[in-house]
Amino acid sequence: MKAKGIAAIVASALGFALMAALVRLADDYGEPLSAFQKSFFRNLVAFAVAAAVYWRHRPRVASPAPRATKHEPRTTFLLIARAAFGTLGIFANFYALSHIPIATGQMLNKTAPFFTVAFAWAFLGERTLPRQAAALAVAFAGAVLVVKPGFAGAEAFPLAVGLLGGAAAGAAYACVRALRRRGADPAYIILYFSVFSCLAAVPFMLPGLRPMTFAQVAVLLGAGGAAAVGQFGVTLAYGYAAPRDIAVYDYSSVLFAAAFGYFFFAQVPDIFSVLGFAVILAALVLLNSRRRKRPHSS
């Protein structure tokens, strides 16, 4: 199951990195759009995908066991909490992506694994092994090298907002883990979140609503599709495995984002960013190699 969790989290990382690039690219084909308008459009596509998957498998989803848990007070609370934290995370991430390089924005968003592990420990009682904590710490060191500007100057506010997005995403993923442990269907979780986030965006979007060009619509459709891949990936991943086992692999998103930043926007990482990416990769390889050695030593 851990292997499936790793595969799902890497697929999710690729989807979210592509989404970040397309969200930033949308402003190159017309008037700049607000984070709320982008968020609404992105979640509308995710809603359509989740609704199609949910209704296609409705006979299985509507079996007695899921029906018995879906509307329990705690399950409902977790669904609302997941949707609220996830919506806040999207708003913050989209705002940051409009003001800083996408690799930096994605790196800030990928502080989420630390918060996910912390929330899973605090609220779900899931322990973290020393080697897993060490791998996360090494990956975070790489993040510091990538986000070298620090919280100063014109980028201070978007950097702070980006970090807030990472914290909110971490809380949302911990809720996903709790929901999956209770047997909630992945498509239903995403459907609930998509409806919530679309409705939440409307009052903030309407005052600054701007018409979109055909190219912007096409780009944001792609962003929505990529986001759907990311949402299903992360929802499945935290159902297959505990955050402590797979959270570090979420950092592959930074590498994908750096590649997209180079090809789409000619954003060339400097030496510190390259070192940061190398450190993140080292953390991933180190964690995986140690896990493979354990069966031989037992």
| Location of structure tokens 């989420």 | 112
| Number of other CB atoms surrounding residue 205 within 10 Å | 20
Q: Tell me how far apart the alpha carbons of residues 93 and 85 are, in angstroms, rounded to a whole number.
A: 12
Token representation of residue 80: 């609302």
Q: How many domains does the chain have?
A: 1
pLDDT at 294 over 80: no
* Backbone dihedral region for residue 296 (phi beyond 0: left; psi -120 to 50: alpha; all else: beta): alpha
Token representation of residue 193: 């979140």
| Mean pLDDT score, 116-120 | 80
Looking at residue 202, what is its pLDDT? 94
Q: Tell me how far apart the alpha carbons of residues 113 and 117 are, in angstroms, rounded to a whole number.
A: 6
What DSSP element (H or E) covers 173? Answer: helix 156-181
| Mean pLDDT score, 286-292 | 53
Lowest mean pLDDT among 15-19, 74-78, 206-210, 245-249: 245-249
Q: DSSP string covering 179-213, please? A: HHHTT--HHHHHHHHHHHHHHHHHHHHGGG-----
Looking at residue 197, what is its pLDDT? 92
- pLDDT classification of 148: cutoffs 50, 70, 90: low
Between 106 and 293, the more confident residue is 106
Give burial (CB, 10 Å; 0-12/13-18/19+) of 208. exposed
- pLDDT classification of 216: cutoffs 50, 70, 90: very high
Phi, psi of 47 (to 5 degrees): -60, -45
- pLDDT classification of 195: cutoffs 50, 70, 90: very high
Q: The dihedral of CA 152, 155, 160, 163: what is its sign?
A: negative
pLDDT at 184 over 80: yes
Between 80 and 57, the more confident residue is 80
Q: Which residues contact 142 (CB under 8 A, 6 or more apart)?
A: 251, 254, 275, 276, 277, 278, 279, 280, 282, 283
Q: Tell me how far apart the alpha carbons of residues 197 and 50 are, in angstroms, rounded to a whole number.
A: 13
pLDDT at 203 over 90: yes
Between 153 and 84, the more confident residue is 84
Q: DSSP string covering 119-164, please? A: HHHHHH-----HHHHHHHHHHHHHHHHHTTT-S-GGGHHHHHHHHH
> pTM (2 decimals)?
0.74
Q: How many angstroms separate the Cα of 184 from the Cα of each of 132, 173, 230?
A: 27, 14, 18
Domain with 233, as residue range(s), is 2-297
CB 34 within 8 A of CB 188: no
- pLDDT classification of 176: cutoffs 50, 70, 90: confident
